[in-house]
Structure 1
């Protein structure tokens, strides 16, 4: 098991935990209540719950991969939390199986389930709309959308992942993006191999490097920021198509070529 200390960062009542390059999130959902997203390390989560005297009511899983579910059994045993996820066959211990369009009541927050296949066949994201008490909305994207990047299409063709990314890009622009891994610097370094003269991407990379040097996480981003600087979300832009050299190819083909090149890059 990877080990790291939690990052002391709370935004919109969301506590960020880092475990290697994995991100896990503990989110307040009422007085002294919280839910967790993709618990990699149970001990880290339990320590924060104890320090903040919180009761864990639910664990939300974006997909079945072990680096997102490794702490699940211990957390459920220790807290009795409800386990919510999209794949009962490959996630042991699910109490509530969710599908696209489902809503989950988590204390004073309502979460909408968005099916986002691509990285896996059953990947989902969890969207919490904006509210007067909690501020801008949040979306927990697992390995579908990263800051500056996207996941590998492991169980689907690239066009399936592209469609899922377009669904996320349609969320309100102020929506906070909380992803499953910190591959951010590498993602922007790759983007500069496609558009070396893109000043917005270069500035974003410098910003991310400064944050890392100061011990700050790369999350949250926003949908607006991702639409402006994430080369994968910009596969439909004529400048990206020209840089990739696919001519008049459609966005799906451009995206597939970007993803192929990123696989080779790292």
Structure 2
């Protein structure tokens, strides 16, 4: 786990004992579990705060993904450039190169586009491509994406996660009522019980479980964003089978604007 500045450890205490926000500004107001709401509010505060998140207009970054097989052998390495326009229009774009040439995926006005070497692919699986784009956006912007509507949260107690004591918050998504995440995967979010740092998550996909651990963060304009992550393939009991991937997020650029609430 990366070392964090001392001021981050003080944020939860400041929030809990300082001035409270107006009722209409409370996060997760639809969630009746006060304990979950307080944990998530503090996780958002530790990562930069609700207001800073609502000020975010655009973000772009480079992401290197290294995949490994069950023996630890490197299967592949891919370097992608991500560009996200969050407001007023929602546009997601991922660009990369490989042996086939130049790839471009785009989600714009809820329409999916895919290009190879500048030629549009009209045979694409639009649902799979949309999921790829939304999942990439969702993962890099945690825990802020927990502010999205259409999520049912459940508190599942405390546990040890990568050597840290954490709160476990289960999240069930309802893709039929919200377009920001389009599968019904179940997620478990792990939030440090002492300083409310977002430590990582576990996901139950249709055919497997995966675990992602945040190892290092970087702070851009007061927003704490992932720098290094690793993921593991799990069995149904939650036991690690092998390390599946290393992720490097770098070269961030963000644009802030007026509050978009």
TM-score by length of 2: 0.25
Higher strand share: 2
Higher relative contact order (Cα pairs below 8 Å, separated by 6+ residues): 2
Higher helix share: 1
